[in-house]
Amino acid sequence: MWIQDILAKKKTIFALSPMADMTDSPFCQIVRMIGGADVVFREMVSSEAIVRENAKTMGMTDFVESERPIVQQLFGADPLTMANAAEIVMRHAGPEGIDINMGCPVYKITSNFNGCALMKEPSRAAGIIREVKRAIGATPLSVKIRLGWSDPDEFRTFIPIIEEAGADLITLHGRTKVQGYAGVSDWDRIQEAKKIATVPLLANGDIHEPSEVWEALDQTHADGVLIARGALGNPWFFSLAHPLAQQVDLKEKMRIIREHARLHLVHYGRGNLITFRKHLAWYFKASRLGCEIPHIKEIRACLMQVNNFSELESVLERVAPLQ
């Protein structure tokens, strides 16, 4: 039971939030390798694709042992399909937990009653939770929600419904679906949610810097935090959030980028790094580098054209020579 295990050990849960196309196995391995995160949530996969045993989607649920404890997120609108998919994922990959996406605001997802659209249909949402719970037995089931669809107070009625249906943990992004990413995550409302919830609750949204973790915990009284964008290009986020953390120098950053690229190549087996460029863009944001680097604009432009490992090596050498 990953939730109780972590809470019994250290009181607060530091978790990597699910991010489509980003929190894949190589990135989760890097986060775990650096340390500081208690659990990683893998990006959402479609329950419909899982029950069809679509090879690419099944592959997205694969992980290596070092990623544990790991939670696999599913999205879908049909209770029985979701239950079937959860059972298949448990049999195929055996993660520590299953998470249900009830927070995604993207039209492609909500137009099929998936993601945050489920907050408009509490009885369907409860049905999904009940069926998935029945399918996965003792495996913890978490649910990721927003404050509401358009009303930022919807969580007040929604939380008791999903708890009653069987949610073991709730993660709450402090925005509505209608807000998308506009405005700021409402940590005061997350505090209200924490008072309502009887299961552990993780705060999410706008915890961009490691130092803000403690601010968010103080303000929300949540049982932990779920970090998304703050960890992109910054897999050190979780270790840096610990009080006695040491800053990371440029050489170490370049070493981890090399290692991440190597894992990416091994995982995707494509022989090129084109799909790794999105991570490079994050790693080389000014806020991530933490120091001035000569010719940085030119270096960023080169990185966005990197095709293979040796091309990447030669750009990284310019930033911080290995010897």
Ligand X SMILES: Cc1cc2nc3c(=O)[nH]c(=O)nc-3n(C[C@H](O)[C@H](O)[C@H](O)COP(=O)(O)O)c2cc1C
Q: How many CB atoms lie within 10 A of CB 91?
A: 8
13: Cβ contacts below 8 Å, ≥ 6 apart? 3, 6, 7, 38, 39, 200, 202, 223, 224, 225
**CB closer to ligand X, 6 vs 44:** 44
With tokens 């790094």, the residue in question is 273
Residue 254 tokens, joined? 């370049």
Instruction: Measure the CA angle with vertex 99, ends 94 and 105; round to 5°.
Output: 140
**Considering only CA atoms, which of 99, 131, 100, 104 is closest in space to residue 117?**
104
Q: How far apart are CA 230 and CA 305, in angstroms?
A: 24
CA contacts within 13 A on the Cβ side of 100: 38
Would residue 291 show up in a list of annotated catalytic residues for this protein? no
Q: How many CB atoms lie within 10 A of CB 288?
A: 14
Residue 194 tokens, joined? 């924490």
Binding site for ligand X (CB under 6 A): 17-20, 22, 43-44, 73, 101, 103-104, 144, 173, 204-207, 227-230
The answer to whether the beta carbons of residues 142 and 165 sit under 8 Å apart is no
Q: How far apart are CA 208 and CA 192, in angstroms?
A: 22
The answer to whether the beta carbons of residues 178 and 147 sit under 8 Å apart is no
Catalytic residue among 104, 116, 291, 302: 104
Q: How far is the CB of 17 from ligand X (least distance, A)?
A: 4
Q: How far is the CB of 144 from ligand X (least distance, A)?
A: 5
**CB closer to ligand X, 44 vs 315:** 44
Q: How far is the CB of 15 from ligand X (least distance, A)?
A: 10
Q: How far apart are CA 237 and CA 35, in angstroms?
A: 9
Q: How far apart are CA 317 and CA 302, in angstroms?
A: 13
Q: How far apart are CA 29 and CA 235, in angstroms?
A: 10
**CB closer to ligand X, 44 vs 273:** 44
**CB closer to ligand X, 133 vs 175:** 175
**CB closer to ligand X, 36 vs 254:** 36
Three-state SS for 173?
strand
Q: How far is the CB of 251 from ligand X (least distance, A)?
A: 27
**CB closer to ligand X, 86 vs 207:** 207
**CB closer to ligand X, 254 vs 279:** 279
Q: How far is the CB of 76 from ligand X (least distance, A)?
A: 13
Q: How far apart are CA 285 and CA 263, in angstroms?
A: 21
Q: How far is the CB of 73 from ligand X (least distance, A)?
A: 6
Active site positions, annotated: 104
